[in-house]
Amino acid sequence: MYTQQAKRSSLLRYWTTRYALTLVIGLAIILIVSVLWIRHSTLENNLNLNKYMAEEIADRMENSIANDSGGPLKIFPNILEDRSKILNSKKEPSLYIVNENGKVIFSNVRSPGVINSFVSSSFFSSKDTVKKFRLDSPPYDIYVVKSAIEMENGEKGWVLVVQPEKELTEVHQEYSLLLIMIISLGLLGWGAIYFLSRKLTSPIQDVSKAAKRIEAGLYDVNLSENVPQQEMYELIHSFKEMAQKLERLESLRAELLAGVTHELKTPVTSISGLLQAVKDDVVTGEEAKEFLDISVKETSKLQNMIGDLLDFNAFTAQAIPINIETHDALDLVKEITYQWHLAQGNEALSYDINATNKSILVDVDPMRFQQIMTNLLNNAKHAMKESGHITIECSKSLTQLLITVTNNGPPISEEEQPFIFDRFFRGEKKKYEVRGLGLGLPFSQMLARAMNGDLFLQSSSNEGTLFTITLPLHTD
């Protein structure tokens, strides 16, 4: 069934566009909040200045009335001129002076009576010094600031400073500076995001290219681990180890194919040649019987190798059950070792069993345990080349049985030690001296772990090679 491939973008483009979008949204929110705050601050500042103007005009009116020095005609122009210089404003507020009855007696606007249309008498009697009014034609908001003209015999009127909200909140230079700052921050943020994203995605792109080389069967990847990020270092390091392991597994696969072919072909060829010789009467009598005995032995070896391969595959597929029972570990070790040594029929092989306890109960599958012990004993025999001494020691910790199997043969090389539990792995010397598929140790380790234990190489030196089996102790 055909499925349309989804459109994909590069990691660098994916993250930079999303980071940039997030940055733009964040800066837009900051811009809106800043504009609202600047408008509010400008409004408050201008209202405070209008309050100051109203109070100053009221004070001068009081002095002018007291001294009879000209009244508001001389006061207004000076006040407005001073305020315009301070604010650098082209638009002046509307100024009104009203008497105690609310009647306008002086103003700097042509139609002073318009103030009565929206300023009610209740405003003069209230304690509020600033009030916002809504005008209908055309609709807009206007602020009125008042300051009382007080004489010794009481209030003689009020000074009103009137100005539209639009003029009070009008800002030019601050907005331009804010816009420049926002744009600069946006460009700087996008540049930093792009640079950091590029720096982060660069090693990922290298890993992607290396993965394509591995897909093509080329395992010689060259990735630098000189990266500052811990996660990126772990990714590259793990990828390089994976590439090396894949290369080794590919080599093992090729060796396995050749090895299995050789190991199975050799006994088949031998059996075929021996039987053909008997069939053609090339050999007769006792010699023919000897040829048949050899054929039977080769057939047995062939069956063992095929059996090992089938058992390993079956266990890997979890098709072989594990039957846990409680047994005395010392009795099992003694019986298994005795039967194995008896089957060898070799006086040059000797063994000792040392135990710190008279009885150690464990939960184990006796048949699987016998397979593990037999594999270790066979490996020891092959390592010692049919002659030597094997030492088996049994002890226990708080929760585990410890069984060590030591042989005095030549050590396993340090280069091969990390791989001895890999399936189908066989040492350079062993592959030419001993027939097999390299499944004994990995199969034994799998069996031990299936019984909640383990099998590992503890040490290998000129003093001997020591394998350790751990199994759980029986708990009541």
The DSSP annotation for 203-254 comes to HHHHHHHHHHHHHTT----------S-HHHHHHHHHHHHHHHHHHHHHHHHH
CA atoms of 181 and 189, how far apart (whole Å) = 12
Q: In this structure, what DSSP letter does residue 93 have?
A: P
Sign of the torsion angle spanned by Cα atoms 296, 366, 317, 444: negative
Q: Which two tokens stand for residue 250?
A: 């590919």
Query: What pLDDT does residue 1 have?
Result: 43
Residue 323 sits at the vertex; the CA angle it makes with 321 and 327, to the nearest 5 degrees, is: 155
**What is residue 97's predicted lDDT score, i.e. its pLDDT?**
84
Residue 47, helix vs strand vs coil:
helix
Residues 6+ positions from 82 with CB-CB distance below 8 Å: none
Instruction: Return the pLDDT at 381.
Output: 85
Q: Are 201 and 125 in contact (CB under 8 A)?
A: no
* CB contact at 8 A, 75 and 61: yes
Strands 400-407 and 464-472: antiparallel
30-60 as b/e: b if 16+ CB within 10 A: ebeebeeebbeeebeebbebbbebbbbbbeb
Residue pair 108/95 in contact (Cβ under 8 Å)? The answer is yes
Residue for token pair 């007696």: 105
CB within 8 A of 373, min separation 6: which ones? 333, 336, 337, 340, 405, 469
**What tokens does 293 get?**
């005995």
Q: What's the pLDDT score for residue 468? A: 92
- Token code pair at residue 363: 């939960």
Cβ-count burial 108-145 (b if 16+ within 10 Å, e if not): beeebebbeeebeeebbeeeebebebeeeeeeeebbbb
Beta bridge partners of 470: 402, 454
Q: What is the CA radius of gyration of the chain?
A: 50
Instruction: Report strand pairing: 104-107 vs 94-99.
Output: antiparallel
Under 8 Å between Cβ of 143 and 47: yes
d(CA 114, CA 162) in angstroms, rounded, equals 11
| Cβ proximity of 383 and 344 under 8 Å | no
Strand order across the 139-151 sheet:
104-107, 94-99, 154-164, 139-151, 130-136
Cβ atoms < 10 Å from Cβ of 176: 10
Whole-angstrom distance, CA of residue 243 vs CA of residue 419? 16
The residue to which tokens 């609310």 are assigned: 102
What is the predicted pLDDT for the residue at 137? 73
Return phi, psi of residue 325, to 5°.
-135, 165
For residue 418, whether the previous peptide bond is cis, meaning omega lies within 30 degrees of 0, is no
Phi, psi of 34 (to 5 degrees): -65, -45
Instruction: For residue 48, report the phi and psi dihedrals to the nearest 5 degrees.
Output: -65, -40
Contact between 266 and 435 (Cβ < 8 Å):
yes
The pLDDT profile of the chain, 476 residues, written as one tens digit per residue, is: 444 555 666 666 777 777 778 888 888 888 888 888 888 888 888 888 888 888 888 887 777 766 665 555 455 555 555 555 555 555 678 888 888 777 888 777 777 666 777 777 778 778 888 988 888 777 888 899 988 888 776 667 888 888 888 888 877 666 777 788 888 888 888 787 777 777 777 777 777 777 887 777 777 777 777 777 677 777 777 877 887 777 777 776 666 666 566 566 666 777 777 788 778 777 777 888 887 887 887 777 677 667 666 666 665 556 567 788 888 989 999 998 888 888 777 777 888 888 877 888 988 888 888 888 888 888 888 888 767 888 899 988 888 889 899 888 888 888 888 878 877 666 665 555 555 666 778 888 888 888 889 999 888 888 888 999 999 888 87
CA distance 464 to 469: 17
